[in-house]
Amino acid sequence: MPIATVNPANGETLRTYEAMGEEEIERRLRLAEATFRTYRTTGFDERARLLRQAADLLEKDQHDLGRLITTEMGKPVKQARAEVAKCAKAMRWYAEHAADLLADEQPGDADVRDSGASRVRVRHRPLGPVLAVMPWNFPLWQVIRFAAPALMAGNVGLLKHASNVPQTALYLEDLLHRAGFPEGCFQTLLIGSAAVDDILRDERVKAATLTGSEPAGRAVASTAGEMIKKTVLELGGSDPFVVMPSADLDRAAEVAVTARVQNTGQSCIAAKRFIVHTDVYDAFAERFVAGMKALRVGDPLDEDTDVGPLSSEQGRDDLEELVDDAVRAGAELLCGGERPDGPGWYYPPTVLAGITREMRIHREEAFGPVATLYRAADLDEAVLIANDTPFGLSSNVWTRDDAEVDRFVRDLEAGSVYVNGMTASHPAFPFGGVKRSGYGRELSGHGIREFCNITTVWHGA
């Protein structure tokens, strides 16, 4: 697969790069190992100073970087700039909180005495070089939410980014170097997917994190398991958006549109399945479809664009196949469903109703601006439909009934439950899923401790 920037808005190839050879990969692995030996001994104050400098540089680059992201993967430029700002925020959050999150823990006095010790502490030590295999859909955010906590913990990073965002990948390495991090603290590997296995098997690489597809997750987890290495996986999602009779329908429908088409619908945590109580189904559907029809599709560099092109021609083909399969099987097309003429990999905001379990779109993730509507007779059926998926990343629930909230929180199979709001990631809150959406957590204290050696230090009497 070529490593190239191809503008999704017109299919034009803007930049191409040669994949790194074995000699260069070896040089970078040696550098990562050597840098870790010294970087791991730096204090939190020094790491925080460097990370804050990187955040400052990131904000200065926001305008140009937003345009770069848009030309590489197609998201509307105003969303690209928001992604840059979010990354700077996360970097500053970890710079401020890492020392407290990784402070030594002191077991209770009674337990210390019972162990025969005079003193016991639990220390969080870095593991070493961590390989990050990252996707194109949030090409900056997905990397920073790994890199910021990993670097603050004293680890060093090796990035294998998606092959269609090489300029963003190279920018990240340059950013952290300009901020003052030692050269080997964070390195981009311009390589194809086939090279990942050998790198993960290298003894100098201590752990891996992957955000991406289910097959990619299986491959990385299999190799890491064979090598007895820690992994964190964030894979696909087909998040439910449940609307109950007590919900504010106007607000729910407005948020539902944003939740489905954020990043042109190419987001693991985008709401994809809209499960509506039968008492309010027609009213919600009318509002939701009207909102989807009103979206402006067009040039992602245009400030007024709501929905840009999909990231690749193959991505559009895959999405179109899911929609066509559903329509052939009897789904009702409420809007959209036909690719427009002209250049670029555009697909219109689309809503399907009458979904059955036999349709592919019921069990597969729709990665694009396509929503499915389900009618639920009651709360029990809503939970049943919501959980009838191999994924379990996040979920959205709209209700003003506290008893219903308790039921959904108890019974939904997902890593997050957002009540009367849209799923979003925040540096202070753990992020991750269950079932085929992966395992482990990113962000918060849980995320920074994923790649730490949690060490018991016992002192005799």
**Is 234 among the catalytic positions?**
yes
Question: 349: closest CA among 308, 386, 321?
Answer: 308
**Count of CB atoms within 10 A of residue 296's CB?**
12
Helices (H) and strands (E) in the chain, counts: 16, 19
The two three-digit tokens of residue 450, written as one number: 């994923």
**Within a 13 Å sphere around the CA of 184, how many CA atoms are in the beta-carbon half?**
20
Asked if 172 and 248 count as a contact pair (C-beta separation under 8 A), the reply is no
Handedness of CA 140, 146, 149, 155 (dihedral sign): negative
**Is 452 among the catalytic positions?**
no
250's enclosing H/E stretch is helix 249-261
In this structure, what DSSP letter does residue 307 have?
A: B
The two three-digit tokens of residue 230, written as one number: 């820690």
Task: Considering the candidates 173, 234, 365, 450, report the single residue annotated as catalytic.
Answer: 234
51's enclosing H/E stretch is helix 44-60
Task: Considering the candidates 33, 173, 185, 268, report the single residue annotated as catalytic.
Answer: 268
Give CA–CA dist 193/142, Å, rounded: 17
Report the residue count for the chain.
Answer: 461
The two three-digit tokens of residue 178, written as one number: 């300009």
Helix axes 281-293, 249-261, angle to 10 degrees: 50
Tokens 């191999």 locate to 390
Asked if 290 and 335 count as a contact pair (C-beta separation under 8 A), the reply is no
Asked if 246 and 401 count as a contact pair (C-beta separation under 8 A), the reply is yes
Q: What are phi and psi of 225, to 5 degrees?
A: -65, -40
- What residues act catalytically? 234, 268
